[in-house]
Structures are given as C-alpha cells and as structure tokens.
C-alpha cells in the first residue's frame, strides 16, 4: 500500500508540472499512474492506461510535458518566419505617378505617402527630378523655384526663374528682352506671348507698351526698339548692314522742304539702294570728283550742286537721294526696291560724308516739298538711331 501511495503521489506531481498540458483525468488500475493530456503545443497526446505497480511514469504525463515544449517551439518558429526585419531600410520608390518630370517637393510628398525613398532627392530638395523606367535622376537644377500643381495628376512640373528686375529704359522688343533675360538668368512674365510686341516696365512692373501687329524690330543696344511698319519704304543701303541716322525729321537743319528728310552717316563710295521700286525721273551730276563742291565741308554756295537721283513711284511721289559721289542709273530706267542707284558721297552743301533721302512731291524740279514717310524696318528712326537694313533682293 505504501508503494502504491508513492507512485500515485509521483504521478500527480508530474501531471501538475505540465502547465497547459491539462491534468490527466484517466486513472489506471491498481498501482497505475494518471496520464497528462497533450498541451497547447499540439504535440502532447491523451493519457495512456495505468502502469503496473512499480512501473515508470505514465506516457501521457511525459507527452504532456513534451506538448508544452512543442508550443514554445512553434511560437519561436512563427516569429522567425516574418517577411521583413524591423531594421530593414524602406524600398526605393517607383515612378509613383508615371514617367516624367517631378518637382522635388512633389516627389518627396509621394515618397512619404508610399513609405518609400528617392535617393535623387539628396541635396536637390528644390530642383526638378525625372523618373523613367522606375529610375530617378536630376533633370534640372532650378535657379528659381520648381512649379507644380499638387492636385493635378499631369506631370508638367518645371523650373521657374525669378522675375527680372526692370532693365528697360524706353522700349524693348519682347524677343530682344528675352535674350537679355536669358543672360541675366531671370524671366519676364509676359513672354513668350508678347515676343513680337514692345515691352517696358513703369514702376518696375513689366507691361506691354505697344502691340505690334507685324512684329517688332530689335535695334542695337541703347536704341529703343519699335514695331515693324506696313511702309513700302526700306532703308537705302545694303541688306543686313547697319547704319546710324545722323539727322531726322524736324531738326534745325531739316526744316521747310527738308522737314521730313533723313541723313545716314556712311563713308564715300557706300552703295545706295532704291527705297522703293519706280522709274528714274531725273539724275544730276554737277559735282564730279575734283570739282569745287565735291567733298567740301559746309559751303552754302554749294547748296544747288549736290549729285542726286530721283525715282518716281507708282503713286506719283518721288524719292530723292542726295550728296552722291557716283550715279549708276539713267533717266527712264525702271528700278526695283533694293536696286543700286549709285554711291554715297559728300557733294553739295554737306558737313561730312553721308546720304540724304526724302520722299517729296513731284513739283517739276529736283528739290520739292518733302512729305512724311516711315521705313518698314523701324518706324521711329531719329537722330542717333542705329538701324539694320532689310532691303534685300
């Protein structure tokens, strides 16, 4: 009986030590052991029958202990099978909104939302990036700001330069102002919509000074630009050459009959071209080289001794070309716009080598009342204006 009590005590102790294994509830026969049921580990089995007196502990009890160990092992196995380690870096972003340009600010916001990273953002927080084939690169270092519309899915992101401070004194053709802005690394808000118009900036704000229906003429630096004209007259010198106007309309030496005349400074022997097509009405050559009024300076007695060509136009007006050194056309000859008429000079009453031109009435003599006209290249020519001829064949 003492042995049976000892074995029973040992069996109960084994059953109690199996934690969740649960107490065995099947008791064996005389001298048997209570077997523990399988634990939550899943490897334990139900209690077996009682062992003979003096035998080993019930198999069920051992199985219960094994079950507890199995549960711990299973739990360890589940934790180790996680897809990512808590210390693993986030993945690199793909082209989250498709291929195209991304302002860095847009790209950073998308990366934060997606939980990914864009390596190209490093050191380029204000620049323009590009994503192509899920690869990120820097497209442009923005000198100003990178502009985009966060609510738009369209990738039209772009760098926007700072607004130019006003550099216009009087008037700039938009296309010319754009070139100057490019040199300065800034932008003019009105461009490119007003490339062909005249701009200025009163009070420092960029504005359109004049809408040019035919576009505008870019004059040399320091000379105000102007709108192209519908005039039939083109500058009286070689195509693409630039000359300065030395005297314009309504000056102290261009009054009366000369009121609407223009003088262009040029060396003796420079080619003179027809401003407009017509027929040679008259030529005069009273001062050949070596004569008293050829290449003299400021002699009023030579006023009627300038070498001249007159071309009559289809509307009856006459173009007068004065102070020539040579004449290459004859009376009655038809000439086209841009045809050579002779060479410039310093004949007659002149204060230096130049060409004097005017459009005048046909009054029957060589010198008649001048009438207003404008040049197609620049309608605002005055003294000091440097102009480029477009009188091309």
- The residue among 18, 50, 66 that closes a domain is 66
Q: Are 228 and 381 a contacting pair, CB within 8 Å?
A: no
What per-residue confidence (pLDDT) applies to 38? 36
Domain hosting 373: range is 242-388
> Does residue 83 sit within a domain?
no
Evaluate whether residue 219 is within a structural domain.
yes
Q: Are residues 303 and 345 in the same domain?
A: yes
User: Could you tell me the CATH number of the domain that includes residue 352?
Assistant: 2.70.70.10
Cα dist. 231→192, 234, 260, 296, 373 in Å? 26, 8, 15, 34, 8
- Helices (runs of H) and strands (runs of E) counted in the chain: 4, 22
Q: Does residue 255 sit in the same domain as residue 361?
A: yes
According to the model, what pLDDT value does residue 222 have? 65
H-type helices in the chain, by residue range? 2-16, 59-80, 104-114, 174-184
Is there a domain that residue 78 lies in?
no
271 closest CA partner among 221, 330, 344: 344
For residue 165, tell me if it sits in a domain. Answer: no
CA distances from 80 to 74, 76, 104, 128, 243 (A): 10, 6, 38, 43, 88
Q: Catalogue the E-assigned strands of 248-353.
A: 262-265, 271-273, 278-284, 308-312, 318-322, 326-327, 334-335, 340-343
Domain-terminating residue out of 139, 160, 181: 160
Last residue of a domain, one of 227, 257, 273: 227
pLDDT 10s digit of each residue in the chain, 393 long? 444 433 434 343 444 344 443 433 333 333 333 333 333 333 333 443 443 443 443 333 333 333 333 333 333 334 334 455 667 889 999 998 999 999 999 999 999 999 999 999 999 999 999 999 999 999 999 988 999 998 888 899 999 999 999 999 888 999 999 999 999 989 999 999 999 999 999 999 999 998 988 888 787 666 677 777 677 899 999 999 999 999 999 999 999 999 999 999 999 999 999 999 999 999 999 999 999 999 988 889 999 999 999 999 999 999 999 999 999 999 999 999 999 999 999 999 999 999 999 999 999 999 999 999 999 888 889 999 999 999 997
What's the domain count of the chain?
Answer: 4
Question: What pLDDT sits at residue 16?
Answer: 39
Question: Do 50 and 188 reside in the same domain of the chain?
Answer: no
- 37/145 Cα distance (integer angstroms): 74
Verify that 131 and 23 share a domain, yes or no: no
Of 261, 246, 245, 269, the residue nearest 343 (C-alpha): 269
Confirm whether 201 is domain-assigned.
Answer: yes
Same domain, 196 and 332: no
**Residues 371, 253 share a domain:** yes
Q: What is the pLDDT of residue 85?
A: 61
Which among 274, 298, 294, 278 has a CA at the least distance from the CA of 286? Answer: 294
Question: Does residue 71 sit within a domain?
Answer: no
CA 69 to CA 252: how far, in whole Å?
Answer: 118
Q: How far lies 372's CA from each of 232, 261, 375, in Å? A: 13, 8, 11
Residue 73 located in a structural domain: no
Residue 294's alpha-carbon distances to 279, 286, 290, 306, in angstroms, are 27, 9, 6, 8
Residue 143 is assigned to a structural domain of this protein: yes
Same domain, 266 and 384: yes
Q: What is the pLDDT of residue 144?
A: 86
Dihedral over Cα of 287, 293, 297, 302: its sign: negative
154 and 188 housed in the same domain = no
Q: Tokens 């909104």 — which residue?
A: 97
Cα separation, 142 vs 147, in Å, equals 10
The confidence score (pLDDT) of residue 106 equals 94
CB-based contacts of 167-170 (< 8 A; 24+ apart in sequence): 168/199, 168/200, 168/201, 169/224, 170/200, 170/224
Same domain, 140 and 179: no
List, in order, residues 6 or more apart from 12 with CB less than 8 Å away: 34
Q: Are residues 353 and 266 in the same domain?
A: yes
How much is the pLDDT for 220?
A: 66
Q: Cβ distance 24 to 60 under 8 Å? A: yes
120 and 190, same domain (yes or no): no
- Domain check: are 260 and 380 in the same one? yes
């Amino acid at each position: 009986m003492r042995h049976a009590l000892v074995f029973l005590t040992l069996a109960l102790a084994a059953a109690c030590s199996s934690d969740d294994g649960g107490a065995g509830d099947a008791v064996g026969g005389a001298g048997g052991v209570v077997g523990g049921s399988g634990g939550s580990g899943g490897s334990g089995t139900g209690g077996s029958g009682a062992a003979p007196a003096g035998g080993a502990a019930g198999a069920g009890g051992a199985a219960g202990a094994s079950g507890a160990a199995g549960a711990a092992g299973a739990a360890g196995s589940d934790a180790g099978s996680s897809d990512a380690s808590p210390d693993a870096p986030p993945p690199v972003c793909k082209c989250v909104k498709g291929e195209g340009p991304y302002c860095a600010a847009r790209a950073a916001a998308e990366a934060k939302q997606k939980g990914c990273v864009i390596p190209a953002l490093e050191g380029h927080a204000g620049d323009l990036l590009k994503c192509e084939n899920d690869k990120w690169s820097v497209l442009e270092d923005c000198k100003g700001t990178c502009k985009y519309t966060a609510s738009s899915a369209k990738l039209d992101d772009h760098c926007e330069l700072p607004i130019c401070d006003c550099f216009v004194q009087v008037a700039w053709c938009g296309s010319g102002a754009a070139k100057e802005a490019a040199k300065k690394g800034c932008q003019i808000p009105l461009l490119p919509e007003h490339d062909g118009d005249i701009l200025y900036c009163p009070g420092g704000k960029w504005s359109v000074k004049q809408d040019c229906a035919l576009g505008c003429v870019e004059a040399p630096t320091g000379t105000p630009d102007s709108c192209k004209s519908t005039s039939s007259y083109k500058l009286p010198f070689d195509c693409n050459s630039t000359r300065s106007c030395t005297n314009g309309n309504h000056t102290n030496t261009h009054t009366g009959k000369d009121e609407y005349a223009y003088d262009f400074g040029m060396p003796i022997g420079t080619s003179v071209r027809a401003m407009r097509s017509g027929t040679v009405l008259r030529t005069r050559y009273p001062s050949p080289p070596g004569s008293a009024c050829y290449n003299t300076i400021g002699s009023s007695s030579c006023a009627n001794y300038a070498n001249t060509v007159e071309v009559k136009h289809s509307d009856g007006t006459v173009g007068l070309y004065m102070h020539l050194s040579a004449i290459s056309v004859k009376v009655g000859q038809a000439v086209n716009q841009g045809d050579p008429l002779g060479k410039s000079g310093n004949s007659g009453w002149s204060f230096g080598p130049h060409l004097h031109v005017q459009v005048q009435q046909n009054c029957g003599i060589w010198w008649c009342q001048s009438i207003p006209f404008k040049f197609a290249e620049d309608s605002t020519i005055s003294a000091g204006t440097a102009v480029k001829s477009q009188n091309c064949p």
